[in-house]
Amino acid sequence: MGKKIDLEGGLMLAPVPVVLVACSHEELGMNVFTIAWCGVDCSKPPIIHISIRPDRFSYRMIKESGVFTVNLPTSDMVEKVDICGNISGAERNKFELAGLTPVPARLVTAPLIAECPVNLECELIKIEPLGLHDMFLGEVVARHVDESVSTGGRADWSRIPLISYVDGEYWSLGERIGEYGCSKKNI
Ligand SMILES: Cc1cc2nc3c(=O)[nH]c(=O)nc-3n(C[C@H](O)[C@H](O)[C@H](O)COP(=O)(O)O)c2cc1C
């Protein structure tokens, strides 16, 4: 690497996965929307977060229902992801519009998305206001992996080409390049 260009503070953490978050609310019904600001926070208990702007229709739905699901879309679903991230559930039924199928979850009232091979059921732990986005911390209380992309009960990521969102562009991820501890043979 050569000389670095110095930039002001900003977001340049890549790749981050794009996920479809689904929710359900007694009065407002079901909804699905796209989230790129998400991540892993703790292994035990298993905690992840999604960051949501308060003006999203889903914000109130998740805050009041206390649950959500995180569904991992694959690269062939990029247009569905784009639809769910550009249209509000306040105006359209995005399940119908994007051709996504809501199916009941095991432990939470929010639906899973059938087309996504991996689904996480989450219970909201707390909401942390940060600025433009509020961080929703959720405990993962159940997980689902489609049998067609699993080996020995584990997700086979070589068969799950995830989508990453970087600088306004969608990128496909999918090649396995090592495993935990792969450096050991050299140290
Ligand atoms: C690729 C992509 C990533 C997005 N990531 C986020 C995010 O992390 N947080 C957020 O609040 N909105 C995010 N959005 C915008 C929402 O998905 C969008 O405003 C959506 O229409 C909200 O749906 P709702 O009003 O039905 O809740 C993203 C949109 C796209 C296309």
Ligand 1 midpoint to CA 5 (Å): 30
Question: Structure tokens of 16?
Answer: 């981050």
pLDDT of residue 184: 87
Q: Which of 16, 18, 56, 77 to mutate to test the pocket of ligand 1 (most atoms within 8 A of CB)?
A: 56
Residue 107 and residue 43 in contact, taking contact as beta carbons nearer than 8 Å? no
CA distance 47 to 53: 20
Lowest mean pLDDT: which of 6-10, 14-18, 64-68? Answer: 14-18
Tell me: pLDDT of 176 over 80.
Answer: no
Over residues 73-87, the pLDDT tens digits come to 999 999 999 999 999
Mean pLDDT of the 135-139 span: 98
Query: Would the CB of 53 count as within 6 Å of ligand 1?
Result: yes
How far the first Cα of the chain sits from its last, in Å, is: 23
Query: Would the CB of 102 count as within 6 Å of ligand 1?
Result: no
Residue 61 and residue 69 in contact, taking contact as beta carbons nearer than 8 Å? no
Query: Would the CB of 33 count as within 6 Å of ligand 1?
Result: yes
The pTM (predicted TM-score) of the whole model is 0.96
Alpha helices (H) in the chain, listed in sequence order:
57-65, 78-84, 94-98
Query: Would the CB of 87 count as within 6 Å of ligand 1?
Result: yes
Q: Residue 53 CA: which ligand 1 atom is closest?
A: 11
Over residues 91-123, the pLDDT tens digits come to 999 999 999 999 999 999 999 999 999 999 999
Query: Would the CB of 97 count as within 6 Å of ligand 1?
Result: no
Query: Would the CB of 36 count as within 6 Å of ligand 1?
Result: yes
